[in-house]
Amino acid sequence: MSHRLRVVLAFAAVYLIWGSTYLAIRFAIDTLPGFLMAGVRFLLAGVILYAAARRRGEARPARLHWRSAAIVGGLMLLGGNGGVVWAEQRVPSGLTAVLIATVPLWVAVLDWLSRGTRPTARVLAGLGLGLAGIVLLVGPGDLAGSQGVDPLGAGVLVLASLFWAAGSLYSRRSALPASPLLSTAMEMLAGGALLLVLALVTGQAAQLDLATVSLSSVLALGYLIVFGSLVAFTAYIWLLRATSPAQAATYAYVNPVVAVLLGWALAGEPLTTRTLLAAAIIVGAVVLITAQQREPAAVPAPALPLAAPGPLGHGTGRPGGDARVAALAECEEAGGVPPC
Tell me the C-alpha distance between 270 and 263, whole Å: 8
**Domain range enclosing 70:** 3-332
- pLDDT of residue 304 exceeding 60, the answer is no
- The percentage of residues in the chain with a pLDDT greater than 90, rounded to a whole number, is 54
Evaluate if residue 88 carries a pLDDT over 50.
yes
> What local confidence, expressed as pLDDT, does residue 120 receive?
86
Check whether 276 has a pLDDT greater than 80. yes
Asked if residue 339 is part of any domain, the answer here is no
What pLDDT score does 81 carry? 96
The DSSP line for 55-69 is HTTPPPPPHHHHHHH
pLDDT at 274: 85
The predicted pLDDT at position 119 comes to: 83
CA of residue 241 relative to chain centroid, distance: 19
pLDDT at 330 over 70: no
Higher-pLDDT residue of 250 and 229 is 229
Q: Once rounded to an integer, what is the mean pLDDT over residues 115-124?
A: 84
**Closest by Cα among 2, 49, 332, 26 to 172:** 332
Instruction: Please give the residue that has the higher pLDDT: either 124 or 296.
Output: 124
Kindly state whether residue 294 falls inside one of the protein's structural domains.
yes
In this prediction, residue 31 carries a pLDDT of: 96
Whole-number average pLDDT of the chain: 84
Q: What is the pTM of this model?
A: 0.83
Whether the pLDDT of residue 188 is over 60: the answer is: yes
Q: Which whole-number Å values give the CA distances from 116 to 126, 293, 295, 299, in the listed order?
A: 18, 17, 20, 19
d(CA 323, CA 179): 6
DSSP-derived letter for residue 212 is: G
pLDDT digits (tens, 9 = 90+) for 40-71: 999 999 999 999 999 999 999 999 999 999 99
For residue 92, being part of any structural domain is answered with yes
Residue 72 lies in a domain: yes
For the chain, the domain total comes to 1
Mean pLDDT calculated for residue range 76-104: 94
More confident residue, 235 or 303: 235
First vs last C-alpha separation in the chain: 27
Task: Look at 250 and 314; give whichever has higher pLDDT.
Answer: 250
In a domain, 340, yes or no: no
Q: Is residue 114 part of a domain?
A: yes
338 occurs within a structural domain? no
Taking residues 75-84, what's their average pLDDT? Answer: 96
Nearest C-alpha neighbor of 180 from the set 6, 19, 315: 315
Cross-strand pairs, 146: 143
Does residue 96 fall inside a structural domain? yes
Instruction: For residues 110 and 180, give the distance between their C-alpha atoms in angstroms, rounded to a whole number.
Output: 23
